[in-house]
Structure 1
Amino acid sequence: MVDASRLTALLDDSMDSGVSIPFNTSAGDAYGVLWRMRELEGWDSPELDEGADAKSGADGLWDVENFYGGRTLSIGGVFTAPSYEEREAAGYRLAQAVPRDRLVAFTLNETTPKWVRARRSGRLKVRPVGELHGEYSISMLAPDPLKYGGAAVTASLSVATPGAGLAPPWTPPVLVPASSSGLDQAVMTNTGIYSSPPVITIHGPGASVSVYNYATSLLLAYDLTLGASDFLTVDVAAGVALLNGTAQRPPAPGSCVTSKFVMAPGDNLIRIFGTLTEVTPPSADISFYSAWT
């Protein structure tokens, strides 16, 4: 449980509406309004819906794997403005910073600052308390339940030598040969407590490019031939791979499902495989943020 009154935070929609609301700072926002956050509910854990079914005619349940739902945040507190006009305008700016139709970033500055992306859910309440003061409460929904933090973890890999790829079709379980360190592999560390979905951009030229995570023993592979200007963007959180930003492409036989190729907590040794079609080898750029529930 966090003490909301002691930690600074930021509701940031500066890239779209141009509004950001800093909480628990001495300087206040760009208009001199001081925002105090007294309550923050839902930060400790997202919802975990129970899917176990009762056994018919017997004690107990048929257990299933449960998955987190969205994260609902409730934020409340008080604010002080330098004038009556600014107190009135502050309520409208707060409403502008929490739109109903797109996600904005909410960051809480714990020891490791963490952020979620959420939108308004339910009623936003602003109540004046005298000339210069007011109370507010916000309800927000983060469709992605995870909290992310730290700097982005990135790596750029390229296929080492001709013939280093795994030729399709693959038959599980796939056994990947060991290798000494090189440009075809990197250790990527998730300092959080939960698996994090990366974004992987595979660049041509090359064919049958695959990425293997030794920590999870998962192989992500695509049976494609890429030209020098082609690229495949794999968004693991969305479970989608787009060729040149437009056409969806499924994983190759023997590959894991796109949405399962996550970065486990701790060290992840990642290696790229593929077949060279030109002198320049195929490559991949990988990035993710450490994740917490």
Structure 2
Amino acid sequence: MQRQSSYAQNEGKLYLVPTPIGNLEDITIRAKRILQEADYIAAEDTRTSGILLEKIGVHNHMLSFHKYNSKERAPELVKLMQDGAVIAEISDAGMPVISDPGFVLVQECIKNDIPVVPLPGASAFTTALIASGFDAQPFTYYGFLPRKAGEQKPYFVQMEQAHGTSIFYEAPHRLVKTLSNMATVFAPEREIVAARELTKIHEEFIRGTVQEVSQYFSENQPRGEFVILVSPNTEETEQLSWPELIELVDERVDQGESKKSAIKEVAQANQVSKNELYDRYHQK
């Protein structure tokens, strides 16, 4: 067991500081103060973050910390904090760690007993969720999906069956292909929302069936970063018995999938406990 005191004085620590996802007025008073007072700011893209920090009046020393150097840079930042430095980690936009390499640094800090202090703030997927019109409890956030259609489809199968709202991010140049791929999996009447340019001047929510939204963007060029939300599956489905679930796992294993992966996918698709399915499968 490990206990963490986030507010001990005179020691190094990591602050996770959210930045605006568009509208600069969304920076919090506390976030701005931490960015001004920190010894260093670890930024995903120092050029992008430099522009943001200049606009909000923060002038501080930045260190590059992104997915390509995170494993090498994290121990260096930990050493600075062990020597007493306070580091604020920021993403290009929104919440650190969410679709951002910050989790690598958080893990290193936890291993080395360095306090991790999270600040609340903007996040694109929660911002889109509360305005989507879909039930916010439960929901599943997938981040960015794989780019290849064949690798996307297992995710869409999960979303098609899910009884909660499903959320993922997509870039504008890939949106049309992704929506077209979705349309091959989902029922034609399934409702989705495409939210773009959140908190910015051209903020927009496009709501409709998978087919309607896919058709809209095939005729209108997508612009801006997108959050895609899929409505819950409200159909009543008969719960499979444990022997039937175990049989589904066996079918996937026979097709070359690992037992661990097959158990996880079957459990998620059928809304049962992965651990219980694991135990029952290995007791058969």
TM-score, structure 1 as length reference: 0.22
More strand, by proportion:
1
Point out the structure with max Rg over C-alpha: 1
